[in-house]
C-alpha cells in the first residue's frame, strides 16, 4: 500500500506537487524519491539534439523564437561563473532549459513551472570554451529555442 502511494506520487509529479511537498514533510517521501525525477538521460546527453529529445521529447529542430530573451555576457569574464538569464514572453511555458552547446554535457539547468510560475530563470553556469548558449522552451504544443554566443577566454593572470 505504502509503495503504491509513493509510486503514484512519483509518476504524476506536476499534478501532485502539493502532495509531494506534504509527503516529504511527513517523511513519506525521502529526498531520494524526489531526486528520482532528475532527468539523468537529459543531463548526461552529449548533444543538443539528445538533450531536446530526452528533456522535451522533441524529435528534430526546435523553432527559433524572438519571444525568448537570453541575457548573457558577450565575453565571459570567468568561464567558471557565467551569468545567464532567460526571460520568455509566451503563454503556457512548461520548461525552460539552459544549454551550453560546447560543454561536455550541454544541459546545465532546467526550470519547470509549477502553479503561478513565471517563465523566467537565472543562474550562473560553467563554460569550458566559447559556445552558443541555447535557451530551449517547451510549451504544451511546441518547443522553441533562441541562442546567443558567449566567448570564453583563458585568463592571463592565473593567480
Q: Which residues bind another protein (CB under 8 A)?
A: 17-18, 20-22, 24, 31-32, 34-35, 37-39, 43, 71, 73-78, 80-83, 85, 100, 103-105, 107-118, 120-126, 153-159
CA distance 84 to 127: 11
Least distance to another protein, CB of residue 75, Å: 5
Residue closer to another protein by CB (options 34, 142) is 34
Least distance to another protein, CB of residue 117, Å: 4
Least distance to another protein, CB of residue 64, Å: 23
**45 neighbors 108 (Cβ within 8 angstroms):** no
Lookup result for grid cell 519547470: 112
Q: Which three cell numbers stand for residue 21?
A: 511537498
CA distance 124 to 92: 25
Amino acid at each position: 500500500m505504502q509503495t503504491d502511494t509513493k509510486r503514484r506520487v512519483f509518476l504524476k509529479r506536476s499534478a501532485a506537487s502539493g502532495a509531494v511537498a506534504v509527503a516529504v514533510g511527513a517523511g513519506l517521501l525521502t529526498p531520494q524519491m524526489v531526486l528520482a525525477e532528475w532527468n539523468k538521460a537529459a543531463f548526461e546527453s552529449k548533444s543538443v539534439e539528445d538533450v531536446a529529445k530526452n528533456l522535451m521529447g522533441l524529435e528534430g529542430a526546435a523553432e527559433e523564437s524572438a519571444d525568448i530573451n537570453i541575457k548573457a555576457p558577450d565575453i565571459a569574464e570567468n568561464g567558471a561563473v557565467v551569468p545567464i538569464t532567460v526571460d520568455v514572453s509566451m503563454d503556457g511555458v512548461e520548461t525552460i532549459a539552459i544549454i551550453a552547446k560546447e560543454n561536455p554535457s550541454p544541459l546545465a539547468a532546467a526550470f519547470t513551472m509549477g502553479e503561478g510560475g513565471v517563465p523566467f530563470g537565472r543562474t550562473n553556469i560553467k563554460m569550458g570554451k566559447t559556445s552558443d548558449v541555447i535557451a530551449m522552451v517547451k510549451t504544451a504544443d511546441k518547443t522553441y529555442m533562441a541562442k546567443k554566443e558567449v566567448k570564453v577566454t583563458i585568463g592571463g593572470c592565473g593567480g
